[in-house]
């Protein structure tokens, strides 16, 4: 009757049936080793034992090694999956970018056509506006010249009028009556007389002296007014001409401003169209650059994709087979130490047969040495004095990986030399 063993209360990546088979097979491993211990003594007279402590160490070792290897394989698998996912994202991105680029190039053609049409309109309107501007500018320049000339004439008239203003005001203050040129001509013979003045008049006849002064003032007012009136008339004429010229100048400036505004509006339309076109160009170029980079990545990693895909599948298989591989590795560490190479191989064969019967998956090409230690560590052990044969390397693995301290049977002292060299920097204490 087959022994029943407690369930393994630890997560392993397998079905419940396989997990229970592992629990049962662990017990079977111990039973197989116990049988071979007897056989080994009968053949080589070397006694070895397995105890419940051995079985507990076997279980503890299995948990530790499975956790370590599962994390390692899981990490590598995740990296491969991440790499493949990135490649797939890049492929999807290239396809999407390719479609976007086609649409963007279509939009760019439309925008280019629109920009060309606006440019043609701008050119035509600019030429027309420039022509009008030139014509208006001529009118403006002419009007400005007239304004400038009139301003000079007006300034001259104002200067003369200003010069005559004191005399005019003095004459106007003397009298408020009008006087004609005929009257002035009749008075001229008297006015030209040397003694026709207010002082003489007062001496001759004081009562009529005021009449003498009045006639002189009338003649003086007439002379001043005769000179000022044309100046006033000319000033009024110049002011009229100036107002007309200024109106023409203002109208010309309005036309010029309107044409400039029209030209600015069309220029703004063109600038907007060119800005839109440039934005589409930049967007399309960025899209093309992304697509080229993604394509280069995909092409550069084309071979890697196949390898990563295969590796990813291999990692999945490793995870599936890990439950059995760790069982063999832990059995090797827990039980193989006392046996020679022949019996170690025999135990592995018997264990694999039992695992096949229990349908526990494992790798057919499993290399326990490669699973438990890397080549760099083995090379370091060899430099430290450990022989390079398979049995010695297995012994080195058991010494460094087993959960319990081993007792070395070392007639040639090779193991002692290796341990001393290996641990000399770790405070190793040696008792003679």
Which tokens belong to 385?
A: 């004095």
Q: What is the pLDDT of residue 2?
A: 45
How far apart are alpha carbons 383 and 377 in whole angstroms? 10
> Residue 214, class by beta-carbon neighbours within 10 Å (0-12 exposed, 13-18 middle, 19+ buried)?
middle
A 10 A CB-CB count for 350 gives: 16
How far apart are alpha carbons 339 and 348 in whole angstroms? 12
Give the list of residues 6+ apart from residue 274 with CB closer than 8 angstroms, or none: 115
pLDDT mean across residues, the chain: 80
Give the list of residues 6+ apart from residue 154 with CB closer than 8 angstroms, or none: 235, 238, 239, 242
Q: At what angle do helices 209-300 and 181-191 cross, to 10 degrees?
A: 120
Query: Contact 397/373 with Cβ under 8 angstroms?
Result: yes
Whether the per-residue pLDDT at 411 is higher than 90: the answer is no
Closest by Cα among 3, 1, 45, 49 to 26: 3
Whether the per-residue pLDDT at 275 is higher than 90: the answer is no
Of all residues in the chain, what percent carry a pLDDT higher than 90? 18
Whether the per-residue pLDDT at 66 is higher than 70: the answer is yes
How far apart are alpha carbons 145 and 224 in whole angstroms? 33
Cα four-point dihedral sign 159, 162, 163, 164: positive
Which tokens belong to 219?
A: 């003649």
pLDDT digits over 187-243, tens only?
Answer: 778 777 777 776 777 767 666 666 676 776 777 767 766 666 776 777 788 778 778
How far apart are alpha carbons 81 and 316 in whole angstroms? 11
Query: Contact 29/354 with Cβ under 8 angstroms?
Result: yes
Confidence category of residue 1, pLDDT binned at 50, 70, 90? very low
DSSP notation for 366-385: --HHHHHS-HHHHHHHHHTT
Q: What is the pLDDT of residue 311?
A: 63
pLDDT digits over 280-319, tens only?
Answer: 788 878 877 877 877 776 666 666 666 666 666 776 778 8
Q: What is the pLDDT of residue 206?
A: 66
Averaged pLDDT, 29-40: 93
Identify which of 76-90, 116-130, 260-274, 337-351 has the greatest average pLDDT. Answer: 337-351
Q: What is the pLDDT of residue 6?
A: 46
How far apart are alpha carbons 214 and 193 in whole angstroms? 16
Estimate to the nearest angstrom the gap between the alpha carbon of 265 and the chain centroid: 35
């Amino acid at each position: 009757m087959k022994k029943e063993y407690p369930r393994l209360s630890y997560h392993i990546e397998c079905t419940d049936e396989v997990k229970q088979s592992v629990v049962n097979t662990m017990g079977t491993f111990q039973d197989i080793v116990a049988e071979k211990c007897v056989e080994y003594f009968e053949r080589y007279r070397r006694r070895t034992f397995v105890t419940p402590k051995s079985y507990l160490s076997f279980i503890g070792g299995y948990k530790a090694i499975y956790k370590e290897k599962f994390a390692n394989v899981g990490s590598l698998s995740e990296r491969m999956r991440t790499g493949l996912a990135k490649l797939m994202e890049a492929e999807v991105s290239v396809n999407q970018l390719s479609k976007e680029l086609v649409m963007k190039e279509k939009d760019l053609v439309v925008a280019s056509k629109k920009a060309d049409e606006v440019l043609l309109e701008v050119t035509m309107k600019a030429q027309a506006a420039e022509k009008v501007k030139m014509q208006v500018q001529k009118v403006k320049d002419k009007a400005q010249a007239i304004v400038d000339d009139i301003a000079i004439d007006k300034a001259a008239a104002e200067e003369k009028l200003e010069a005559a203003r004191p005399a005019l005001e003095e004459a106007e203050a003397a009298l408020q009556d009008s006087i004609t040129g005929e009257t002035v001509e009749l008075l001229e013979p008297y006015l030209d007389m040397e003694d026709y003045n207010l002082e003489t008049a007062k001496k001759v006849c004081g009562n009529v002296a005021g009449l003498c002064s009045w006639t002189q003032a009338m003649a003086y007012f007439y002379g001043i007014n005769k000179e000022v009136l044309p100046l006033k008339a000319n000033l009024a004429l110049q002011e009229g001409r100036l107002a007309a010229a200024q109106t023409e100048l203002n109208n010309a400036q309005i036309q010029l401003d309107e044409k400039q505004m029209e030209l600015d509006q069309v220029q703004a339309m063109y600038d907007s169209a060119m800005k839109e076109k440039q934005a589409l160009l930049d967007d399309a170029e960025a899209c093309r650059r992304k697509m080229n980079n993604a394509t280069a990545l995909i092409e550069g990693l084309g071979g890697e994709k196949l390898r990563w895909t295969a590796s990813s599948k291999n990692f999945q298989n490793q995870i599936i087979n890990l439950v059995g591989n760790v069982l063999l590795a832990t059995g090797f560490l827990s039980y193989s130490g006392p046996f020679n190479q022949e019996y170690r191989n025999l135990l592995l064969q018997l264990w694999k047969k039992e695992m096949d019967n229990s349908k526990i998956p494992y790798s057919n090409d499993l290399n326990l040495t490669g699973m438990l230690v890397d080549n760099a560590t083995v090379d370091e052990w060899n430099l430290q004095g450990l022989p390079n044969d398979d049995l010695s390397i297995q012994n080195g693995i058991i010494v460094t990986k087993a959960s319990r301290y081993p007792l070395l049977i070392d007639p040639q002292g090779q193991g002692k030399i290796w341990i001393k060299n290996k641990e000399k920097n770790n405070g190793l204490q040696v008792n003679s």
